[in-house]
Amino acid sequence: MKNKVVNWPVLAFGLALQVLFLNQAHAGFTVSGTQLLDANGQNFIMRGVNHPHAWYTHKTSSFADIAATGSNTVRVVLSDGQQWSRNSASDVANVISLCKANKLVCVLEVHDVTGSGEKHEAGTLEKAAQYWVDIKDALIGEEDYVIINIANEPFGNNQAPSAWVDGHKSAISTLRNAGLSHTLLIDAANWGQDWQEIMLDNASIVAEADSLANTFFSVHMYEVYQNYDKIDNYISNFQTKHNLPIIVGEFGGDHNGSPVDEDSILAVSELYGTGYLAWSWSGNGGCCTNLDMVHGFDKNNLSSWGERIINGVNGIKATSKLASVYDTNSPSPSPTPSSIPTPIVTPSPVVTPSPTVTPSPVVTPSPVVTPSPEPGALTCSHTVINSWPGGFQGRIQISNTTSTTINGWQVSWEYEDGSSVASSWNANLSGTAPYVATNLSWNRQIQPGEYKDFGFVGKGSGSAMNVRCQ
């Protein structure tokens, strides 16, 4: 075999292009701790409604009507044909176009698996997963605007936890193996209400099955959730235990004659910065017509339930913010293939193989022992980056102001106004007065002139004092 002459600059540029386009393939929403980030990397909090499109495919004006309420998201009922008439790929493509035309984030769900294992006519999670693969041509390229809610309430009551865990792990693999890189949403067991706490106990196991680390979760709050403490405990415990986003994917003011504490659902959602999607726009059957937000799909005929959700305290109009992908004042994602920089030709660069590109940081604890940081090596700052009545979102930034690499950090702080942290991400958190945060394995190193940060949500105003780092 003849020796091959390698053009190192060209090869290096080719590798850079490959990485660039791989990153572009995974554009769209991403999961970051307890936050859902949109394609511009901006925190996105869902505020919207469910729309029963599968049963009312002719009510396409509903998308514009829902957008007019101030909603930033619509969760769209679809059928894969197991119980109802199958929504075709072309119909789904039209739904997506309607969402985009009305600046709505489109959460698509298959409804046929509702109550499986208990409801004999319910479909299977396996077939629902295959449906998304079958219509993938309508989905690929829409990652910035579409979230796939694999199946609505896919397990009924008294089902083995392993059925929910293993069924969703397999479904996630089916979608990822088919090349669908969208953010995935998983519904809780027990008809979505999780009274057995199967999702609360096992969400991390399911999330770890996602090769793109881009899965989050939904609980449906009906008669199981009748007081503030129950609602607060579920959401705060989920975030603390799993460090993953959760939304209230369905809820009503009552259900089957039993009350639901919708005021607390809205208040807790605002407190923790979690999304909510009310059930439903219109068209409910005999048991649940009081859950119609508008009567007869008439946007000018609000029900009392619609009035509460749209115009009430912590409701849609008061709290909804447009996704930045629809906001012309928001930063655009970068880089894009049309703005590829001209490569700089350098003599004989060392080319190392590129690791598999995943959204999550590769955990590689460094074997190199770095010098202990000198006094004053780190500076840190506490910032409240978002607030609402009774709560806040904070960030602490740790900066390396020295000429040596920092290999491990710790931050402590207190709140002078009695504020408290409910959940955090990108750090190990302990204590309360003071709080103490330490690095994770993947963010322990801070190079000279660089910084690392971590975030949290809390109760109170977040007025911090005695912020120290080492």
CA distance 187 to 440: 29
The 10 Å Cβ neighbour count of residue 430 is: 11
Contact criterion met (CB below 8 Å) for 226 and 260: yes
Closest to 163 (Cα-Cα) out of 206, 221, 224: 206
Residue 102, SS3 per DSSP? coil
CA distance 203 to 235: 13
Residue type, 187: D
Q: At 220, which helix (H) or strand (E)?
A: strand 215-221
Q: Which residues are catalytic?
A: 153, 250
Cα within 13 Å of Cα(73), Cβ side: 30
Contact criterion met (CB below 8 Å) for 326 and 103: yes
Closest to 425 (Cα-Cα) out of 27, 24, 29, 37: 37
In the DSSP assignment, the letter for residue 302 is B
Look up residue 90 and give its two tokens. 């072309």
Q: What is the DSSP string of 310-352?
A: HHSTT-HHHH----GGG-TTSPPP---GGGPPPPPP-SSPPP-
CA distance 60 to 62: 5
Residue 457 C-alpha from the chain's centroid? 15
Contact criterion met (CB below 8 Å) for 396 and 407: no
Dihedral pair phi/psi, residue 400, rounded to 5°: -100, 110
Residue 14, SS3 per DSSP? helix
Residue type, 160: A
CA distance 410 to 352: 33
In the DSSP assignment, the letter for residue 280 is -
CA distance 50 to 48: 7
N-to-C CA span, the chain = 57
Contact criterion met (CB below 8 Å) for 19 and 357: yes
Which residue has tokens 């993947």?
Answer: 442
